[in-house]
Amino acid sequence: MRFTALIFSAALLVPLSAMADEDSVPPVTDPLTKKECGACHMAYQPAFLPAASWREIMATLDDHFGEDASLDPETRGQIESYLAANAGRGRARRASPPLRITNLKWFTSEHRDHEVTWLWKNRNVKTMADCAACHRGAGRGYFEDD
Ligand code: HEC
Ligand code: HEC
């Protein structure tokens, strides 16, 4: 299934009209985001979450999934603007936007087949948040195969 279709069926995000071609997700182009948000894990492409999610993530960096990922206010503001401007177009529930890509409905349904299990074991993957462990092209926005 194509990413566009997955997003659509998730009913959380509408199709990403900004996508360069339907098999890739626009890569992170902002150097500051790449640097600061790529320090501990891959800098996730903004289209994977709606703007409300990015805002919530950026507002809680001091307790970021158990880590302190705080930034100075100016850097934080710049990154938040970039992420929000390039976010997925969906409307998230205002009260509690999703903070994890790996918890989204399309994600869990796309990641429960034997191929995922096989890769998980064979590449000694520690967390589903480590996209690049299985998708070698993840940083460039490619999530088909490999
Ligand atoms: C100090 C290390 C660190 C930095 C810097 C950092 N993160 Fe994280 N981030 C983590 C950890 C740890 C997790 C949880 C990973 C896991 O569940 O395996 C995480 C998870 C995430 C997730 C959820 C992944 C999922 O499960 O779908 C998002 C989204 C995210 N980070 C965004 C950001 C953004 C945006 C920035 C830059 C402002 C950033 N992170 C900077 C450590 C960091
Ligand atoms: C343990 C391995 C593994 C990890 C970790 C993983 N994936 Fe996947 N992913 C797969 C496999 C296998 C598929 C199915 C590939 C296919 O459809 O050809 C898949 C499918 C996808 C698809 C659908 C591709 C398509 O167009 O059919 C997307 C998008 C995706 N993954 C994104 C991610 C993101 C984002 C992360 C990190 C937050 C991630 N994956 C982490 C193994 C993994």
Position 95 in a domain: yes
Position 145 in a domain: no
Pocket of ligand 1 (CB under 6 A): 36-37, 39-41, 44, 57, 61, 64-65, 67, 69, 79, 100-102, 127, 129
Position 94 in a domain: yes
pLDDT value, residue 95: 75
| Mean pLDDT of the chain, nearest integer | 87
* pTM value > 0.85: yes
pLDDT value, residue 3: 54
Position 74 in a domain: yes
List pLDDT tens digits, range 109-128: 999 999 999 999 999 999 99
- Please state the atom number of ligand 1 nearest to the C-alpha of residue 126: 18
Position 45 in a domain: yes
Position 134 in a domain: yes
Could you list the residue range(s) of the whole structural domain that residue 135 is in?
3-140
- In the 3-class helix/strand/coil scheme, how is 34-61 assigned residue by residue? HHHCCCCCCCCCHHHCEHHHHHHHHHCH
Of residues 53 and 96, more confidence is placed in 53
Query: CB within 8 A of 63, min separation 6: which ones?
Result: none
Position 39 in a domain: yes
- Please state the atom number of ligand 2 nearest to the C-alpha of residue 25: 29
- Centroid of ligand 2 to alpha carbon of 13 (angstroms): 17
Q: How many distinct structural domains can be found in the chain? A: 1
